[in-house]
Amino acid sequence: MDTLMWQRVQRRCGRPQDPSARSRRPVVDNRSVPWEGRCRCTWEHLRGGCARFPVGGSLDRRIPHNAARGVDLPRKGKKAHQYLTHDEVHRLATAAGGERGTVVQVAAYTGLRWGELSALRVRDIDMLRRRLAVTENAVRNGADVHVGSPKTHERRSVGFPSFLVLPLARLCEGKAREDLVFGDGLEYMQRPRASGGSRSWFVTALDAAGLERMTVHDLRHTAASLAISSGANVKAVQRMLGHASAAMTLDVYADLFDDDVDTVSAALDAARSRVVVAK
């Protein structure tokens, strides 16, 4: 591996650029790479950086082939979803108060992503049909906000419960159709942090409500949980969340459908009993 290649790998891994320190060079022989105890992101950077470098025909021809290609990475551990109950959502919204309380309730009962929620405009709300038209997604990158289509690039219509009509109407009062629903109508809401020692309004509300630390995105998971527990089928939940397919919804929220196995078996038992007893 020549000096230029090593420097680029070092920059990607955030390590000092010291091409002379051979003992710290990455091992490119995948048979001798000890994955256990290693940081996954470090190995992703190493493999991604090394895999892009040509060998043999360029550089200094010290290695005959690129051993970084085809290396299997350790599996990512899935973070367990956190779900709130109706009562917990109410407590969290009350602790947040005002507009922020409405943000909590809309997120927990519609499943909108934060970017979709912050990009919601007055014209997107149909109060009579109680529908939200999800047409835009605002993604913040530093100080810049990039507005585009929703994640799956498909617009969708999401229903919301009647108790949200009045809070949403209050937020729309005095605003033009093109104004944003949340905030002053012009600036997009900034996503509240929930990690480390953050003291954002969301973390403060969680503490006041006596709830465990979670992220705003967990309110989307809560929406899925509340919808499924209310009897919504997987196709309805898929449309609400804007997933590309029902299979994706089942995969993401497989734990919420575990009870369906018992429900189906109980229903089959009841159906058989009715037929056999009737005879």
Over the stretch 89-112, which tens digit does the pLDDT of each residue have?
999 999 999 999 999 999 999 999
Contact of 222 with 89, CB cutoff 8 Å: yes
pLDDT averaged over the chain?
80
181 burial type by CB count under 10 A (0-12 exposed, 13-18 middle, 19+ buried): buried
> What is the chain's alpha carbon radius of gyration, rounded to the nearest angstrom?
25
Say if CB 215 and CB 114 are below 8 A apart. no
The pairing of beta strand 137-141 with beta strand 125-126? unpaired
pLDDT exceeds 80 at position 60: no
Q: Does the pLDDT at position 26 exceed 60?
A: no
CA distances from 162 to 49, 99, 165, 216 (A): 52, 17, 5, 22
pLDDT score at 35: 47
Average pLDDT over residues 247-274: 76
Percentage with pLDDT > 90 across the chain: 46
The H or E element spanning position 145 is strand 144-148
- Alpha-carbon distance of 270 to 105, in angstroms, equals 38
* Structural domains in the chain, sorted by start: 1-77 (no CATH), 86-257 (1.10.443.10)
Q: pLDDT tier at 19 (50, 70, 90 boundaries)?
A: very low
* Averaged pLDDT, 38-58: 57
Please compute the mean of the pLDDT values over residues 118-142 and round it to a whole number: 93
Residue 136: phi and psi, rounded to 5, are: -135, 160
Instruction: Quote the pLDDT of residue 17.
Output: 47
Residue keyed to tokens 């835009």: 136
Rounded Cα–Cα distance for residues 153 and 235 (Å): 18
Please give the model's pTM, rounded to 2 decimal places.
Answer: 0.69
Beta carbons of 132 and 262 less than 8 angstroms apart: no
* Range 97-122 burial, b when 16+ CB lie within 10 A, else e: eeebbbbbbbbbbbbbbbbbbbbbbb
Residue range 188-233, pLDDT digits in tens: 999 998 887 888 999 999 999 999 999 999 999 999 999 988 888 8
Question: Does residue 24 have a pLDDT over 80?
Answer: no
End-to-end CA distance of the chain: 81
Task: Please classify residue 182 by burial: count the beta carbons closer than 10 Å to its beta carbon, then call 0-12 exposed, 13-18 middle and 19+ buried.
Answer: buried
Question: 208: helix, coil or strand?
Answer: helix
**Which stretch, 18-22, 180-184, 253-257, has highest mean pLDDT?**
180-184
